[in-house]
Amino acid sequence: MELIYLSRSDVEALNMTMKDVLAAVDNGFRLKGLGKTEMPPKPGIHPRPDSFIHAMPAYVQEVESAGLKWVSGYPANTGKGLPYITGLLVLNDPATGIPIAVMDCAWITAMRTGASVGVAAKYLARPDSRQAGILGCGVQARPSLMALVETLPQLKEVRCCDLFPAAVKRFMDEMGKLFPQLRFIPCNTPADMAKNADVIVTAIPIVTKPAPPLEAGLLKAGGLAVSLDYDSAWTSAAMKECDKFCSDDVGQLLSTKGHGVYFGDIPERVYADLGELAAGLKKGRANDREKIFAMNMGIAVDDMVTAKALYDRAVKTRVGVRLPL
Ligand SMILES: NC(=O)c1ccc[n+]([C@@H]2O[C@H](COP(=O)([O-])OP(=O)(O)OC[C@H]3O[C@@H](n4cnc5c(N)ncnc54)[C@H](O)[C@@H]3O)[C@@H](O)[C@H]2O)c1
């Protein structure tokens, strides 16, 4: 018996595009909506203040992907020149349970997170959205923008804000080369970033005692806010003023809330999870005036469908190292 080990650079060499990841993740959400996935709420350990190491298992029928992501987020790493998010993902053969692959999960996490923003935009943004706003111009911001470009064909302008102006500059330089058709506007404050934005993505560090900079009234009518950072960026009044509050997994949202650290003051009613929207069980945006909020915490289904597509490519192209079990 042997498994395939895929390093970060092996994963990248498999050339999966955002379009490919979006298709896989949208399908994963659809299967989740149809009840064809098994995904318990993620348990975690927290060895340092504001840090987490989460275990994220899932099985996705039809795609036949089963496995576990073991992923950490350490805000203090940034100051040490280390990545905030690191981890490994194990895939098992669903028929026998035997491990078939171990791979770096940083690229997968970033791309599937971006894709979850794209899926939220597909069902919840105004299709004619022209302006995006991004708070936190780090790793997750990049694939989030890639996914918005794929989903919102009329996107023209990106308003960018970060605690560090150098991060905004790096983001604009990199993304400007990738998307020369977009106009990038650096913003000094979160409120300025939000001005007139049709879709706002927030990706700042998740902290246990946040002072959210985005207040009620900042999301425009017809706007969509996608939070990748739990309740760190938007005040509860801002979340509660939205007409629809959605999530990528209601079960996980409520379970995390139940632990008593995050989501203490989110809206009472969660309208839908993205699976229900992707499966056509609930309607997404109903009109051009609705303010909609998507709380995307990141789900293991997204990881497993992406990892399985990478595994299939690695088998076909002989990328990666074969290791005895
Ligand atoms: N929901 C998901 O699926 C998912 C997946 C991965 C990561 N995340 C979360 O996304 C967030 C960003 O992760 P990342 O990997 O991009 O981290 P990162 O460190 O690469 O980027 C975060 C950026 O936010 C900036 N920042 C920090 N505090 C800020 C503030 N108060 N205002 C404005 N900017 C601020 C930092 O300077 C940095 O550029 C984290 O909260 C992480 O846990 C979510």
DSSP of 241-305: TSSEEEES-HHHHHHHHHTTSS-TT--S---EEHHHHHTTSS----SSS--EEEE----HHHHHH
Residue 272 maps to a domain: yes
Residue with CA closest to ligand 1 atom 18: 138
Specify whether the CB–CB gap between 204 and 135 falls below 8 A.
yes
80-102 tens-digit pLDDT = 999 999 999 999 999 999 999 99
202 lies in the same domain as 318: no
Kindly give the residue spans of alpha helices, DSSP state H, lying in 161-219.
165-178, 190-194
Answer yes or no: do 62 and 25 share one domain.
yes
Please compute the mean of the pLDDT values over residues 280-290 and round it to a whole number. Answer: 97
Ligand 1 mutation pick, 161, 214, 228, max ligand atoms within 8 A of CB: 228
Q: Are residues 87 and 210 in the same domain?
A: no
Report residue 103's pLDDT band, with 50, 70 and 90 as the boundaries. Answer: very high
Same domain? For 217 and 130 the reply is yes
The rounded distance, in Å, linking the Cα atoms of 30 and 25 is 9
Domain co-membership, 292 together with 307: no
171 plus 71 within the same structural domain: no
Catalytically active residues are 69
Query: Does residue 114 form part of some domain?
Result: no
SS3 state of residue 45: strand
Per-residue pLDDT tens over the stretch 174-192: 999 999 999 999 999 999 9
Same-domain check for residues 87 and 182: no
Taking the centre of ligand 1 as the mean of its atom positions, its distance from the CA of residue 143, in whole angstroms, is 12
Q: Look at residue 113 and tell me if it is in a domain.
A: no
What is the domain-level CATH number for residue 39?
Answer: 3.30.1780.10
Range of the domain at 175: 119-298
Q: Residues lining ligand 1, CB < 6 A?
A: 73, 78, 84-85, 109, 113, 116, 135-140, 162-164, 167, 203-206, 228-229, 296-298
Q: What's the pTM value of the predicted model, to 2 decimals?
A: 0.96
